[in-house]
Amino acid sequence: MDFKNLVVEAMSDVLDGSIDNQQISDLIETPKTSDLGDFAFPTFILAKTMHKAPNLIAGELVEKIDSKNFDKVEAKGAYVNFFTDKKAYSNDILHTVLTENDNYGNTKQGQGRNIPIDMSSPNIAKPMSMGHLRSTVIGNSISKIVTKIGFNPIKINHLGDWGTQFGKLIVAYKLWGSEEEVKKDPINNLLKYYVKFHEEAESKPELEDEARAWFKRIEDGDEEALKLWKWFREESLKEFNSIYERLGVTFDSYNGEAFYNDKMDDVVNELEDKGLLVESRGAYIVDLSAENLSPALIKKSDGATLYITRDLAAAMYRKKTYDFAKSIYVVGMEQADHFRKLKAVLKLMGHDWADDIIHIQFGLITTGGKKLSTRKGNVILLNEVLNDAEKLALEQIEEKNPNLENKEEVAKQVGVGAVVFHDLKNDRRDAFDFDLQEVVRFEGETGPYVQYSNARALSILRKAESTDYENADMLSLDDPNAWDTIKLLGTFPDIIQKAAKEYEPSVIAKYALRLAKSFNQYYAHSKILVDDDQKNARLALVKSVSIVLQMSLALLGVEAPEKM
């Protein structure tokens, strides 16, 4: 049943066609608190035509409105406040959640069309940074959100496995490295070489030339160079995969920058054919001054291609391969200019689908207010963060629930869940300062709090034994404490729409926190397992809350332990 529509119809009846239904619907607001009703119609717009003060109009309208479908209709200031028929609404929402279960909130609007999601995309031979963690978890969550509205996501790990840094790495490895060291602890040692390269190159600029020469050898397919490159890549991937496994994130493709190596000539040729390539001091660029952007550097004077050249090839490849509805890139906002240029060049090439490319930006993570730089070796190592989080989770469990079975497993779900949730709960564009103690806090606005609320709901259901609440008479549910929770359950489909439209997982995370909080309040004030004629209806509510909390956590890529 569409409860908002009941309000539109009631208003329309008394307005005698002076405002059409669509306009009425657009004007209707949701009051901040339940004591102002569930829907409010502001009368300001009528003041001009009715030549009266809005509060008088509100009073008169209330006299005329047929309130049979509502608990009550009241005038408050300039607003007409509608109080939904709680019993009818509760009955409707709870039955819908229970029957639709995991499908609650699903739509078919995507019609199965593809959305490639460029996500994670760390750089080989460097540690995965907090920025890559953000990209991984935001991308993963978006893939689940768009699935819910009927799209088919394709998760692509566009690995940074190509570029001049590999020349630097080979130079550094040959000068200061050993096979044994790399095998023992690949990323840390490769990083060590890389950092040393930059320190040494400050006083010995000739190292840079050597590095360029080595990268050229990789690009030209030189055997020794390629072998080292491949080896660095494999060792790094092993380590990245261990992190993905812990996070429960999978990919549909690991086609990174190197994959496009043999597809670059086509891009350069097309640019040339279309008269877009300009020579500038031996290099080739695309002039973007008409777009108010600095030029896109396509090919260096030594013939080496660049990050953007590979992204042009990748964008075209994805269009050809997936015929995408949208093509999204979950990458930090410091690359905003890069993606503007990418779109601008594609547009100049005549590809209208460039408009379907979306850069999903996110803010920087700092520590102690400072940016983290890989070059200086100043990075937060992700595996360590996850280890610490799991350890803290285990300590909490030991303290609160020492008899829990498979504590270690639950500690993993809670520790990792805490890190992921922390990352997703704020507007993705907000920068945040990384503080481990803050991340693994279990009270307040955290993942463990939501997980705990769900586990509590499940424990009530286990104790209840009866399971026929699915057919409960919700009309008997007459509990003012339940109302906010039921209303929140009812807004879940809108929450999905909003999160999908804005590509914003935080919409779901904030919702999950609100629902958990409201459920805990309900639980604190109502005896759920008392044997009376409302018991099954209360259990139906508890079950519905657990369904929606679990779905919300799943959409964020956070696990939901049954017991905590």
* CB 246, min distance to ligand ARG, A: 20
Name which of 325, 330, 354 is nearest 341 in CA terms: 354
Candidates 77-85, 117-125, 194-202, 460-468; binding stretch for ligand ARG (CB under 6 A): 117-125
The answer to whether residues 171 and 315 touch, using CB atoms and an 8 Å cutoff, is no
- x-marked contacts with ligand ARG along 328-357 as a string, rule CB under 6 A: -x-x--------------------------
Pick the binder of ligand ARG from 158, 168, 319, 538 (CB under 6 A).
158
* CB 426, min distance to ligand ARG, A: 21
Tell me the C-alpha distance between 190 and 235, whole Å.
10
Residue with the closest Cβ to ligand ARG? 160
* CB 207, min distance to ligand ARG, A: 23
Candidates 115-123, 384-392, 399-407, 540-548; binding stretch for ligand ARG (CB under 6 A): 115-123
Tell me the C-alpha distance between 520 and 518, whole Å.
5
**Token pair for 564:** 């905590």
Establish if 259 lies at the interface with ligand ARG (CB under 6 A): no
Candidates 71-79, 118-126, 260-268, 427-435; binding stretch for ligand ARG (CB under 6 A): 118-126
Cβ-based neighbour number of residue 220 at 10 Å:
10
Candidates 103-111, 114-122, 390-398, 536-544; binding stretch for ligand ARG (CB under 6 A): 114-122
Establish if 161 lies at the interface with ligand ARG (CB under 6 A): no
**Token pair for 65:** 């409105």
DSSP of 79-148, one letter per residue? EEEEEE-HHHHHHHHHHHHHHHGGGTT---TTTT-EEEEE---PBTTSPPPHHHHHHHHHHHHHHHHHHH
* CB 533, min distance to ligand ARG, A: 58
Pick the binder of ligand ARG from 311, 390, 423, 484 (CB under 6 A).
311
**Helices 164-176 and 206-219: crossing angle, nearest 10°?**
110
The size of the interface with ligand ARG (CB under 6 A), counted in residues, is: 10
Name which of 142, 119, 143 is nearest 131 in CA terms: 119
For ligand ARG, which is the closer residue by CB, 342 or 499?
342
For ligand ARG, which is the closer residue by CB, 123 or 453?
123
Name which of 476, 451, 444 is nearest 541 in CA terms: 476
Alpha carbon separation from 49 to 14, 29, 46, 60, 212 (Å, rounded): 15, 21, 6, 15, 75
Strand ordering across the sheet containing 283-286: 277-280, 283-286, 296-299
Pick the binder of ligand ARG from 54, 116, 153, 160 (CB under 6 A).
160
Candidates 12-20, 121-129, 194-202, 216-224; binding stretch for ligand ARG (CB under 6 A): 121-129
* CB 358, min distance to ligand ARG, A: 12
* CB 129, min distance to ligand ARG, A: 8
Q: What is the dihedral of CA 410, 240, 140, 517, to 10 degrees?
A: 30
Pick the binder of ligand ARG from 118, 219, 423, 484 (CB under 6 A).
118
* CB 373, min distance to ligand ARG, A: 12
- x-marked contacts with ligand ARG along 429-468 as a string, rule CB under 6 A: ----------------------------------------
**Helices 130-148 and 535-556: crossing angle, nearest 10°?**
130
* CB 367, min distance to ligand ARG, A: 18
For ligand ARG, which is the closer residue by CB, 118 or 423?
118
What residues does 155 pair with on adjacent strands?
Answer: 117
Establish if 121 lies at the interface with ligand ARG (CB under 6 A): yes
Strand ordering across the sheet containing 39-42: 39-42, 79-84, 70-76
- x-marked contacts with ligand ARG along 363-402 as a string, rule CB under 6 A: ----------------------------------------
* CB 337, min distance to ligand ARG, A: 12
For ligand ARG, which is the closer residue by CB, 328 or 558?
328
Name which of 108, 87, 105 is nearest 3 in CA terms: 87
What residues does 75 pair with on adjacent strands?
Answer: 80
For 40, half-sphere exposure in the C-beta direction (CA atoms, 13 angstrom radius) is 17
Establish if 123 lies at the interface with ligand ARG (CB under 6 A): yes
Tell me the C-alpha distance between 74 and 87, whole Å.
19
* CB 132, min distance to ligand ARG, A: 6
Residues of this chain that interact with ligand ARG (CB under 6 A) are 118, 121-123, 158, 160, 311, 314, 329, 331
